[in-house]
């Protein structure tokens, strides 16, 4: 089978390729959060969120740069993934990151969209599902995101189940996240992960984290560790057993920024009504809900989202150094 970097439309950054060849730590990062998850303007209230946050930059660029910075500080090489002019780039340069961030109308690319987008010279950000495809192509084993997609509320009326779940079931990658986005049906999402055979391991939590809100005490996990390094050991065992699925490592949003569940639900209800009134559908649902929530909450959901993203990048770097 030809290796990924021999495909004419796949390019691995030389630093990422060198790290992979030497077997030093690499952490993959997604870009749908940049193109479709965060505001494209500077957000001064995020000034104090982290010492690696550049407040003068638009929030989506500041986030991508802060994620990479955090991964490097943790001793790993970041590989931010996107499709630029039809090329699947694994490890964007600073210039490519700028190009993607400044693009007037970038696509939101899931796993199913990749080949078509590469064929038509498109540019877009990669969802969790598509980033897992990139990880598989380059044999990257650790990936950090915010909250994965999952089973949407009202799935019995409209079968909206994120392709992230199927992707987690077929790539040998550890995905570090704060559970699934709380805009979803979380019990159904956890059941789906169970059906797909994806181990869900809590780090410092016995319960499934609710993205921006504290973990849900009604959603127990069967496995939990209190040391990030243990995740690497569990994944090695999982793969030694011959399993081809990923491992989902979940940790709570940092407490200082987490949003009480009842407060979140209040904003969610209003957001859901707006989405229904405006007939938002398919891949547009998640970006619509996230931006509407940020508006309604006066930026509180955005702050929690950024805090947990950086927290996950830090943990992913730590895990990657133990692989």
Give the C-alpha separation, 109 to 270, whole Å.
28
Look up residue 45 and give its two tokens: 């209230």
Active site residue 191: no
The verdict on 162 binding ligand PSU (CB under 6 A) reads yes
Look up residue 111 and give its two tokens: 């796993």
Judged by beta carbon, residue 164 or residue 185, the one nearer ligand PSU is: 164
Closest to 314 measured CA to CA, from 135, 210, 178: 178
From the list 70, 127, 189, 320, which residue makes contact with ligand PSU (rule: CB under 6 A)?
Answer: 127
From the list 251, 301, 305, 320, which residue makes contact with ligand PSU (rule: CB under 6 A)?
Answer: 305
Judged by beta carbon, residue 16 or residue 290, the one nearer ligand PSU is: 290
- In whole angstroms, the minimum distance from the beta carbon of 67 to ligand PSU comes to 11
* 8-state DSSP, 36: I
Number of residues written out for the chain: 323
| Catalytic residue from among 68, 181, 272, 318 | 181
Give the C-alpha separation, 48 to 229, whole Å.
29
The window from 7-15, 58-66, 157-165, 194-202 that contacts ligand PSU (CB under 6 A) reads: 157-165
Instruction: For the chain, give the longest Cα–Cα distance.
Output: 53
Site string for ligand PSU, 169-198 (x = CB under 6 A): ------------------------------
The verdict on 124 binding ligand PSU (CB under 6 A) reads no
8 Å CB contact between 182 and 264? yes
Burial of 302 (0-12, 13-18, 19+ CB in 10 A): buried
From the list 12, 30, 114, 267, which residue makes contact with ligand PSU (rule: CB under 6 A)?
Answer: 30
Residue nearest to Mn ion (CB): 160
Q: Which of the residues are catalytic?
A: 30, 181
């Amino acid at each position: 089978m030809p290796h990924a970097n021999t495909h004419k439309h796949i390019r691995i950054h030389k630093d990422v390729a060198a790290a992979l060849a030497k077997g030093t730590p690499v952490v993959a990062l997604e870009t749908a959060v940049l193109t479709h998850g965060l505001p494209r303007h500077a957000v001064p209230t995020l000034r104090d969120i982290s010492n690696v946050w550049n407040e003068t930059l638009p929030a989506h660029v500041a986030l991508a740069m802060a994620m990479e910075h955090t991964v490097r500080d943790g001793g790993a090489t970041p590989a931010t993934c996107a499709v630029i002019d039809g090329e699947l780039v694994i490890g964007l340069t600073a210039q490519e990151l700028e190009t993607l961030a400044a693009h007037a109308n970038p696509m939101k690319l899931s796993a199913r969209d990749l080949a078509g987008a590469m064929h038509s010279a498109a540019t877009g950000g990669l969802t969790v599902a598509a980033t897992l495809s990139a990880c598989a192509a380059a044999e990257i084993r650790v990936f950090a995101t915010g909250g994965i997609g999952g089973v949407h509320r009202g799935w019995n009326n409209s079968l909206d189940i994120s392709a992230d779940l199927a992707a987690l079931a077929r790539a040998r990658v550890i995905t570090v996240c704060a559970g699934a986005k709380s805009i979803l049906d979380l019990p159904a999402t956890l059941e789906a992960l169970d059906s797909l055979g994806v181990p869900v391991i809590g780090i410092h939590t016995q319960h499934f984290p609710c993205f921006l809100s504290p973990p849900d005490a009604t959603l127990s996990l069967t496995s939990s560790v209190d040391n990030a390094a243990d995740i690497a050991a569990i994944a090695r065992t999982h793969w030694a057993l011959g399993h081809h699925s990923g491992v989902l490592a979940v940790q709570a949003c940092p407490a200082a920024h987490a949003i009480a569940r009842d407060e979140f639900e209040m904003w969610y209800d209003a957001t859901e009504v707006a989405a229904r009134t405006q007939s938002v559908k398919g891949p547009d649902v998640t970006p619509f809900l996230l931006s509407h929530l940020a508006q309604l909450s006066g930026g509180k959901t955005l702050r929690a989202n950024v805090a947990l993203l950086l927290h996950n990048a830090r943990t992913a770097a730590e895990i990657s150094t133990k692989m």
